[in-house]
Amino acid sequence: MSTFVIGFYTILIAASAGLAYFKQDRWFMMIFSLTLISFITGIIGGAQALRSIAIFVALLAAAAGVSYTFKEFLIRIASPNVAKELRTAPLTAAFGMFVIFTYAIAGIFAPIIAPFGEAEVISSAFAPADANMLLGADQLGRDIFSRIIFGARNSVGIALMATMLAFISGALAGLLAAVKGGWFDQLMGRLADVIMSIPSLIFSLLMLSIFGTNMTVIVIVVAIIYSPRVFRLTRAVAGNIVVMDYVEAAKLRGEGDWYLVRREILPNSTAPLVAEFGLEFCFVFLLIAGLSFLGLGIQPPTADWGSMVRENATLISFGDITPLIPAAAIALLTVAVNFVVDWMLFRSSGLKEQ
Amino acid sequence: MGDLLTLVAKRLGYGLLTLLVVSILIFFAVELLPGDTAQAILGQSATPDTVAALREELGLNQPAYIRYFDWLFGAIRGDLGVSAIPPHQPVISVIGPRFTHTLFLAAYAAVIAVPVAISLGVIVALLRNTVFDRVANVLTLTSISSPEFFLGYILILIFAVKIPIFPALATVPTDVSFGELLYRTFLPALTLVLVVTAHMMRMTRAAIINLLASPYIEMARLKGVPPWKVIVKHALPNAWAPIINVVALNLAYLVTGVVLVEVVFVYPGVGQLLVDAVSKRNFPVVQAVSLIFAATFILLNLAADVGSILTNPRLRHPK
């Protein structure tokens, strides 16, 4: 029994006793079940397992603390109306916003933050980490840390562009289909059906094999693949608004289709559309990451998370986790966006459960 | 019963039509290539003679619509043309054995994932808004948000490098026993299981919660029906449709997810073949594999719709 193990159990048991005394039932149940779980893992895995539990709990607590303070910070700098909304945000949503904020900073200021250029060869291949290179070098001797920072700009940037293109074309087609109806609606609907009936990864691989792999092609192909989702949602949301009396009134006033879309329908359908934008971004981001991982997405020497995983994958068989960091960066951003979207969906009561 | 059959027939017809349109799209997309297909495959340095030979080989001297019908009827008979890369094997003999491997992997994952996901989904729905539900929500969300290759490499790191109990690469020699095969492909199957289970759990949870909120369940509870009977007699008949939908949608999702997982584990399936063919611009193979994937995807979606029509009590017992 080392001092660490004794300290570990003392803190847990003291914490659960304290919580039970002050009748914090939910927290007590959580902390005490953690104590029971650590008894079992401690017997099986020894001090090493307890240490990983402690690290995990500490990370969780740190994340919660950061999210809470970031939320309070946002509430203080936001206007009163926005602040009122922000107060209802759960901790997960605050965490999501913090992560998105961090990525945005990393992406925008990449050349200032990164110690080396994204294609700069500074040492030998797979050199281990030292004072100069935080995470070591990749297969060509470039600094992995700098490339991860630049990846925030390239991978997220291209996904954002594709999402915006998909969103604008899909939403425009959906709004027009709802307003015009008739053959245009039918044609667009069937077109969306066909595109959605081909698996997205397969469709993009087919297109990339034909048009070659460059950024423009990727953005356009991915936008075409994901615009039908936006189209269907917009069509459904706008379809409910078009039948409202005030739209009827505007039509009788003699307003054109464009006016109806811009002034009557769009302002009333923003909430679900904004949430859909977040979800759409996740799909697009994961698809492009997958393509890059297959070596068919963003091409070298541009730093990109998906291709970085592929290039350094050999390190994994030596037990090195560096190649997993870019993959984790992808997962973290997607989770963060999902957390924020969950909150927004709940707020706009689209998914409110009893 | 007449109405039901018409509905199913309509849906089947619509599915076949979609498949036809998709086949047209896949075939004519390659026609969009700037210039000549044979030239594009061989590159700029090819001599006119070799280009002409390849044109002859691929039958490019005929008009596009004739080649389309040749290709389509060939595909129905199981003849998918010849590979554009020497030694010009028939595409079907390249795809055949690999497709069995892919189907095996997908089936392996499905057999584990479906029962686990549905039972967990129902449990989470019954325990909704508890700590257990919240934790499950965060975990499934993380699993869905992670790229397949991330999950795959984490599993390799833990179960093949740190604790070496499973092989990191899922190579499949021709003569291995079934048990050995299951052991060798365990990690790729587990990766797929993690992704698909998360999806299915969330969808099952949503479907069940939707159902339990409906007035007739409330009515059954109020008149004193025992809880298990509420689930079995009242909820389940209506739950089949959403559950079948969930399962079929996720099996369709497996078809796409399998590509990335095959590359991570160097598993000899169709996905790897597709990626390889795309980077070598081997169009006959790309077209054939795309058609097979698209057909599987459409058929599974079709099965989902037909299944939910057939199990819908309102349609089965019309007034």
B260: nearest CB among A193, A211, A293? A293
Partners of B255 on chain A (C-beta within 8 Å) are: 199
Nearest CA distance, B17 vs chain A (angstrom) = 10
* Chain A residues with beta carbon closer than 8 angstroms to that of B147: 286, 289-290, 293, 306, 327, 330-331
Q: How far apart are CA A136 and CA A305, in angstroms?
A: 16
Rounded Cα distance between B161 and A267, Å, is 54
Q: Where are the domains of chain B?
A: 101-281
What are the chain B neighbours of A352 within 8 Å (beta carbons)?
none
Residues of A with Cβ-Cβ distance to B157 under 8 angstroms: 316, 319, 321, 324
Number of helices (H) and strands (E) in chain A: give both, helices first.
14, 0
Cβ distance A135 to A144 under 8 Å? yes
Banded pLDDT at A189 (limits 50, 70, 90): confident
Which of A 289-318 lie inside 8 A of B, CB atoms? 289-290, 293-296, 306, 309-310, 313, 316-318
Residue B37 in this model has a pLDDT that exceeds 70: no
Å between B317 CA and nearest CA of chain A: 30
* Cβ(A152)–Cβ(A107) below 8 Å: yes
Class of domain B101-281: mainly alpha
Q: What percentage of chain B reaches a pLDDT higher than 70?
A: 92
Best mutation target among A31, A155, A210, A288 (most B Cβ atoms within 10 Å) is A210
Chain B residues closer than 8 Å to A285 by CB? none
Q: What is the DSSP letter of A122?
A: -
**Which segments within chain A are labelled E, that is strand?**
none
pLDDT for A167 = 92
Residues in chain B: 319
What CATH class is the domain A119-349?
Answer: mainly alpha
Among A202, A220, A337, most B C-beta atoms within 10 A, so best to mutate, is A202
Compute the nearest-CA separation of A331 from chain B (Å): 4
SS3 content of chain A, % helix, strand, coil (to 5): 80, 0, 20
Whether the per-residue pLDDT at A275 is higher than 60: the answer is: yes
pLDDT value at residue A331: 92
Quick: pLDDT tens for A143-188. 888 888 888 888 899 999 999 999 999 998 998 888 887 888 888 8
* Residue B111: per-residue pLDDT: 92
- Cα(A327)–Cα(A148) distance, integer angstroms: 10
Task: Give residue-wise pLDDT tens across range A18-51.
Answer: 888 888 777 888 888 888 888 888 888 777 778 8
**Across the interface, which of A26, A294, A339 has its CB nearest the CB of B263?**
A294
3-class secondary-structure state, position A212: coil
Q: Say whether pLDDT at A334 is over 90.
A: yes
From the list B268, B273, B303, the residue with the least C-alpha distance to B288 is B273
Tell me the C-alpha distance between B74 and B255, whole Å: 24
Residues of B in contact with A200 (CB under 8 A): 256
**Predicted confidence (pLDDT) per residue in A66-121, tens digit:** 999 998 888 888 888 888 888 888 888 899 999 999 999 998 988 888 888 777 77
DSSP string for residues in chain B: -HHHHHHHHHHHHHHHHHHHHHHHHHHHHHHTSSS-HHHHHH-TT--HHHHHHHHHHHTTTS-HHHHHHHHHHHHHHT---B-SSTT--BHHHHHHHHHHHHHHHHHHHHHHHHHHHHHHHHHHHHTTTSHHHHHHHHHHHHHHHS-HHHHHHHHHIIIIIIS--S-SS----SS--HHHHHHHTHHHHHHHHHHHHHHHHHHHHHHHHHHHTSHHHHHHHHTT--HHHIIIIIIHHHHHHHHHHHHHHHHHHHHHHHHHHHHHTT--SHHHHHHHHHHHT-HHHHHHHHHHHHHHHHHHHHHHHHHHHHT-HHHHS--
Provide the shortest C-alpha distance from residue B145 to chain A (in Å): 5
Q: Is B278 on the interface with A (CB under 8 A)?
A: yes
Q: What is the pLDDT of residue A350?
A: 47
Interface A-B, measured as beta-carbon pairs within 8 A, has a size of 138
SS (H, E, C) A84-112: HHHHCCCHHHHHHHHHHHHHHHHHHCHHH
> What's the gap in Å between the CA of A327 and the closest CA on chain B?
5
Q: Could you give the angle at which helices A25-77 and B131-145 cross, rounded to 10 degrees?
A: 50
CB A191 within 8 A of CB A177: no
Q: Which residue has the tokens 């549905």?
A: B118
The residue type found at B208 is I
Contact call for residues B10 and B267 (beta carbons, < 8 A): no
pLDDT in tens, B271-300: 888 888 888 878 888 888 888 888 888 888
Residue-level pLDDT at A299: 79
CB contact under 8 A, A331 and B168: no
Q: Mean pLDDT over residues A270-296, rounded?
A: 88
Q: pLDDT for A303-332, tens place per residue?
A: 889 888 888 888 888 878 888 889 999 999
CB A141 within 8 A of CB A122: yes
What average pLDDT does the segment A285-290 reach?
91
| Residue A194 touches chain B, beta carbons under 8 Å | yes
Whether the predicted pLDDT of A352 surpasses 50? no
Q: Does the pLDDT of residue B40 top 70, yes or no?
A: no
What is the residue extent of each domain of chain A?
Answer: 3-61, 119-349
- Cis peptide before A267, with omega less than 30 degrees from 0? no
Q: How confident is the model at residue B10 (pLDDT cuts 50, 70, 90)?
A: confident
Contact A271/A348 with Cβ under 8 angstroms? yes
pLDDT reported for residue B192: 92
What does pLDDT average to over chain B? Answer: 82
B77-114 CB burial, b ≥16 within 10 A, e <16: eeebbbbbbeeeeebbebbeebbebbebbbebbbebbb
Interface test with B, best of A99, A294, A324, A325 (most B CBs within 10 A): A294
How does pLDDT run across B194-209, given as a tens digit for each residue? 988 988 888 888 888 8
